[in-house]
A = this chain, B = another copy of it.
Amino acid sequence: MKHKRKRHGTMEMRVHRRTEPGSPPGTIVPDPHEPQSDVQVFSYCKTDLVESRLPSFEQLAKMVATNEVTWINVDGLGNTRLIEALGEHFKLHRLALEDVVNVHQRSKVDQYADIMFIVLRMPHVPTEATGGRVTTEQLSIFAGPKFVITFQEGRPGDCFDRVRLRLREGATKLREAGPGYLVHALLDGVIDNYYPVLEGYAERLDYLEDAVLEAGSHVMDELHEVKADLLILRRAIWPLRETVASLSRDESTLFGESSRPYLRDCYDHVVQIVDLVETYREITADLRDLHMSSLSNRTNDIMRVLTIISTIFMPLTFIAGIYGMNFHTSSSRFNMPELDWEYGYLLCLAVMFVIAAGQMYYFYYRGWILPSFRARK
């Protein structure tokens, strides 16, 4: 039954580069399996907000010209032509676009002329659909003087619903500030999304701790799954730490001096998440040790029962065997005269009893019997 359950998660570990070795850098190879792109645009200034879906390039150009900030969110990377067109229109570097499409990048920040390119990994809370395994999705951000373009892999749902709400609400700090603050809000949303994912693992570890203590038999498989998931999260979060650190050290004009504390706050969160992931990994390792030791302990318990039983009954059965031999008592007076003794049988039983009692005492003395009373403090 257990092996029928579809395993997931290792897919995350596989990195498939679609561009062939030796291709010129900046080659954008479409992946037919990627979902079609869905484009959503928020164009806003302090007083105005335009929301639009799949606009034409003229509309886009007009929005960017009119408003302070235009956020173009591309959901799904299946439409390579659209991505190339966006790249040309906004003068995005081809190497960066190649990274957008090859969705197994580590988090990083690159500066191309006046456009900043940020790659993040966005975690998804494990669901039934992913077999209870964590998955991460690549989020690529281009931030220019008047626009922010984000590319997602196109799985349903992201962590920006509250950002969209704050944009629509109006008169928030987000509407007044420039594209830097929007980038910060997106970063913050991604980072904060790690917390519920990690909380899920804290709960699972808690449950597993109980399971190990109660010696459940599939604990190890589950521990292995949790360990692998934490490895995925770790691979996502460590480079993110470097990324946010380099952002907060950054001297570019995108983030002004006033947004420094906000980036530092982001950085603190990432460090805390790193800390949690490492802590959970250590707990998992400890639980594995505990499980192994409890296995050994149980082997010992089982062995002890077997040994006690064998050691007691083997000599007894041997004695019974002796007197089950068919030596003809009539042929010789040395042939088992005990069989004719008046108390022969009782004596025989008495000897057996003495042997059994002696062994019981010895085992009690060695602490093999009633371990719950003796070996415990």
Contact = CB atoms under 8 A, between A and B. Distances in A.
List the number of copies, as a whole number.
5
Most B CB contacts (10 A, CB to CB) among A165, A291, A316 go to A316
Interface on chain A toward B: helix, strand, loop, or mixed SS?
A: helix
A162 interface: yes
Interface residues of A, number: 141
22 contacts: A13-B202, A13-B205, A14-B203, A24-B172, A24-B174, A106-B275, A224-B289, A228-B286, A292-B293, A292-B296, A295-B296, A299-B300, A300-B302, A302-B368, A303-B306, A305-B307, A306-B311, A307-B309, A310-B310, A320-B322, A321-B324, A324-B325
Given A22-B192, A306-B307, A314-B310, A346 B334 contact: yes
Interface of A: 2-3, 7, 10, 13-17, 19-25, 93, 95, 99, 104-106, 108, 110, 112, 159-163, 165-166, 172-174, 185, 188-189, 192-193, 195-196, 198-199, 202-203, 205-206, 209-211, 213-218, 220-221, 224, 227-228, 231, 235, 239, 261-262, 264-265, 268, 271-272, 275-276, 279-280, 282-283, 286-300, 302-307, 309-311, 313-318, 320-329, 331-332, 334-336, 338-346, 348-349, 367-368, 371-372, 375-377
B306 A272 contact: no
Please give me the 10 A-B residue pairs with the lowest Cβ-Cβ distance, nearest first.
Answer: A22-B162, A320-B321, A21-B192, A323-B325, A313-B314, A332-B342, A306-B307, A324-B324, A22-B189, A331-B340
